[in-house]
């Protein structure tokens, strides 16, 4: 048989093996990340007035093929909370696997506020195993600080000190921005508590500072709701009590302030020399007014 025919025969035999399952590429595990952590309020942060833990849904790691969990004894898988978040060290989540599976023992410990360590013994590769973490006694998390809001990342296996368990398809990450997602965590602003007069809409400004306005010119200000940590919540209509000028002196008059139709902003126009503070009110929110606005007359004409 010439070499060309030998090559063709070898290729044909390989194709038959693949189609018949004689050779099988190793699959990878399917990870279902913990749910419930994508909107963690700043009001629940460790430094909030009433800190609170949020309970997450379970994490599952399911083999695609037997052998995705490599056979070994007392190997570890470390899961880390992304920056700005912490686990409840007072609660140890449960960990389970089906009876008769290749995973003969599994345990978990909350090593510290940002790390959980899973210890596994895998005796063989005869069954397709599913490991479940936190189905009864759940994982609990909270933001560490109410401000600045922690950037949303996910629980992850760290690239360094991530344990020695060999699990097909689990990709480590340096910070939880990539790699295998074991549950997304994100911090959002808390409940609005303060209504401020600011220099820009959508939280883009600061409290209007004390400033001078030339007679005949105008400035626009916005009613911005913020939480207890000064995080932007939303623009809010100044309804209850509305927009007002306080500390009025000189030629400034209440009519110099004109609210917009939606009452989320207002225009102050200085007509005559004088001064006033711009204030917005809305329900139970604590109002924070502007600095003193002084209208300065132009040169004599």
pLDDT band at 299 (very low <50, low <70, confident <90, very high): low
19 occurs within a structural domain: no
Of the chain, the percentage scoring pLDDT greater than 90 comes to: 83
For residues 170 and 287, membership in a common domain is answered with no
- The three-state secondary structure class of 9 is helix
Which DSSP string do the residues of 49-113 spell out, in sequence order? SS---EEPPPEEEE-SSTTSB--EEEEEEEEEPPTTEEE-TT----EEE-TTSSEEEEEEEEEET
| pLDDT of res. 26 | 53
Query: Given this model, what pLDDT does residue 9 score?
Result: 43
Of 254, 256, 265, nearest to 221 by C-alpha is 265
In a domain, 21, yes or no: no
Domain edge (last residue) among 188, 215, 234 = 188
Q: Are residues 180 and 283 in the same domain?
A: no
Q: Are 105 and 127 in contact (CB under 8 A)?
A: no
Q: What is the pLDDT of residues 41-99, one digit of tens each?
A: 999 999 999 999 999 999 999 999 999 999 999 999 999 999 999 999 999 999 999 88
Q: What is the pLDDT of residues 22-31, one digit of tens each?
A: 333 458 999 9
User: Can you give the length of the chain in residues?
Assistant: 301
Are 211 and 228 found together in one domain?
yes
- 276 pairs with which residues across the strands? 293
Alpha-carbon distance of 226 to 210, in angstroms, equals 21
**CA 180/CA 169 separation, integer angstroms:** 8
32 plus 178 within the same structural domain: yes
Tell me what the pLDDT averaged over the chain comes to.
90
Which CATH number belongs to the domain containing residue 235 in this structure?
A: 2.60.40
Lowest mean pLDDT, pick from 75-79, 162-166, 282-286, 288-292: 282-286
Find all residues with CB under 8 Å of 206, minimum gap 6, and list them.
198, 199
Residue 11, pLDDT > 70, answer no
Are 89 and 137 contained in the same domain? yes
In this prediction, residue 293 has a pLDDT band, given cuts at 50, 70 and 90, of: very high
Q: Which of 165, 188, 211 is the last residue of a domain?
A: 188
pTM of the model: 0.83
Pair (167, 224) in one structural domain: no
Residues 57 and 126 grouped into a single domain: yes
Range of the domain at 252: 194-296
Domain total of the chain: 2
């Amino acid at each position: 048989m010439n070499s060309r025919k030998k090559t063709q025969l070898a290729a044909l035999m390989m194709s038959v093996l693949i189609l018949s399952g004689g050779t099988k590429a190793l699959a990878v595990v399917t990870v279902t990340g913990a749910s419930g952590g994508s909107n963690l309020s700043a009001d629940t942060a460790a430094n909030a007035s009433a800190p609170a833990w949020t309970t997450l849904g379970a994490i599952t790691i399911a083999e695609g093929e037997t052998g995705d969990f490599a056979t070994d004894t007392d190997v570890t898988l470390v899961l880390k909370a992304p920056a700005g978040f912490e686990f409840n060290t007072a609660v140890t989540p449960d960990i389970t696997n089906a009876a008769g599976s290749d995973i003969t023992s599994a345990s978990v410990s909350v090593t510290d506020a940002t790390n959980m360590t899973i210890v596994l013994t895998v005796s063989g590769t005869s069954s397709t195993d599913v490991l479940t973490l936190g189905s009864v006694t759940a994982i609990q998390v909270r933001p560490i600080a109410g401000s600045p809001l922690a950037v949303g990342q996910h629980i992850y296996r760290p690239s360094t000190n991530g344990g020695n368990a060999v699990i097909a398809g689990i990709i480590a990450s340096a910070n939880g921005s990539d790699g295998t997602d074991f549950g997304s965590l994100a911090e959002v602003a808390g409940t609005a508590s303060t209504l401020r007069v600011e220099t820009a809409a959508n939280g883009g400004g600061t409290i209007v500072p004390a400033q001078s306005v030339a007679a005949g010119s105008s400035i626009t200000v916005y009613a911005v709701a913020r939480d207890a940590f000064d995080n932007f919540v939303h623009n809010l209509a100044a309804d209850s009590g509305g927009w007002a000028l306080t500390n009025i002196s000189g030629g400034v008059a209440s009519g110099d302030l004109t609210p917009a139709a939606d009452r989320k902003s207002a225009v102050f126009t200085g007509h005559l020399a004088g001064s006033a503070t711009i204030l917005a009110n809305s329900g139970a929110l604590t109002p924070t007014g502007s600095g003193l606005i002084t209208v300065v007359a132009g040169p004599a004409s």
